[in-house]
Amino acid sequence: MVIGLDISTSITGVTVIDREGKIILNEAWDLRKYKDFFEKAQFVEDKLKWFFLDVSKSINKWDWLDAIYIEQSLQSFRSGFSSAKTLSTLARFNGLVSWLCYKHLNVKPEYIAATSARKKCGIKVPKGTKAKEVVLKYVVDNVPDVTILYTKHGNPKPECFDKADSWVVARAGYLCQQEKSSQL
């Protein structure tokens, strides 16, 4: 079983894929109502504890957690994107959630760049297009087990982008695990 996380201080996407490649869980944890960094971290910790205590009970003990894959936080500046303060906050939060995963799920997370995860899943982002929109379209067209909700104006709700991104991370992690097991 593989967990894929798309970590953000606003909405964190979470996907769990079993050893057959089926989605067990795909959801978004909305952290926008928590203004404090530590309140956000507490919410994520509570969710991870819930997962470990409640969800894991319904899973075959032989199909327990093989890996946790986390989308690597941005490493450099790009004009028109995140500020130094935002990048620093995201990196801190990513590190904190990584630690919480290790603490509560007893698995050291592995990191994968968004571009590498998309490539592993066969998702090509044409130059000049927004990656999040391309990923969401791919998921809508190819992954029926990911529920996408829309606003009354027909736009995808913000959390759907995070759910789709977490599926990409989890799927890429699953494929990495398949490659590792075939090399044994």
What are 10-60's pLDDT values in tens digits?
999 999 999 999 999 999 999 999 989 999 999 999 998 887 766 666 665
Per-residue pLDDT, 127: 93
Higher-confidence residue of 60 and 147: namely 147
Q: In what order do the strands lie in the sheet with 11-17?
A: 23-30, 11-17, 2-6, 67-71, 110-112
Architecture of domain 2-182: 2-Layer Sandwich (3.30)
Cβ atoms of residues 25 and 14 within 8 Å: yes
Q: What is the DSSP letter of 32?
A: T
Phi, psi for 172 (deg, rounded to 5)? -60, -40
Per-residue pLDDT, 77: 47
Confidence band of 69 (pLDDT split at 50, 70, 90): very high
Q: Is 23 exposed, middle or buried (0-12, 13-18, 19+ CB in 10 A)?
A: middle
b/e code 82-95 from CB counts within 10 Å (16+ = b): eeeeebebbeebbe
Q: Residue 165 above 80 pLDDT?
A: yes
Confidence band of 182 (pLDDT split at 50, 70, 90): confident
Mean pLDDT of the chain: 89
**pTM recorded for the entire structure:** 0.89
* Beta-bridge partner residues of 49: none
> Mean pLDDT throughout 53-81?
67
d(CA 172, CA 112): 8
Q: Residues 98-145: pLDDT tens digits?
A: 999 998 888 999 999 999 999 999 999 999 999 999 999 999 999 999
